[in-house]
Structure 1
Amino acid sequence: MTDLPLRPPAPIKTPCIKVCVVDGESGLCMGCYRKLSEVAGWAKLTDEARASIMDELSSRRDRIRPEKLAMFG
């Protein structure tokens, strides 16, 4: 008998919009504005750490030149 969970784990909240292009100048993903290290370690972060990062994402947009962002709508 195996000890399987009774229900699947809750999905992890993510800002990913499936536009995975890193801006070389800022080091941020042009889709979600996360750093590569944040994207790579997202599943290992606590809910609180993910929430903290997500709270800062909108302010990170200004670190990417507007003409680059225009390519993605």
Structure 2
Amino acid sequence: MAVDSPCISICKFDEKTGFCIGCLRTKDECKQWKKMKDKHRVRIIDDRSARKAKLKKHKK
């Protein structure tokens, strides 16, 4: 099972959370994505809702 990258080519990082505002990954996660095991990729994808909420909270 290959897990596709969530990248949508925005690649701008929020200073407070460290998350990309496009794909909601950290810089390290973006850099390591191709080397990650699928189970780790799935965890990141599954955590996107929580990350989005955290990003919205810090934008206020």
TM-score range, shorter chain: 0.7 to 0.9
Q: Kindly name which structure, 1 or 2, has the bigger radius of gyration based on alpha carbons.
A: 1
In terms of fraction of residues, the more helix-rich structure is 2
Aligned match for 1:50, one of 23, 33, 41: 41
TM-score w.r.t. the length of structure 2 is 0.82
Greater relative contact order (Cα < 8 A, sep 6+): 2
Q: Which runs of 5+ in 1 are unaligned?
A: 1-10, 69-73
State the percentage of identical aligned residues.
Answer: 35
Runs of 4+ in 1 over 6 A off after TM superposition: none
Aligned residues between the structures: 58
Q: CA RMSD in A?
A: 2.0
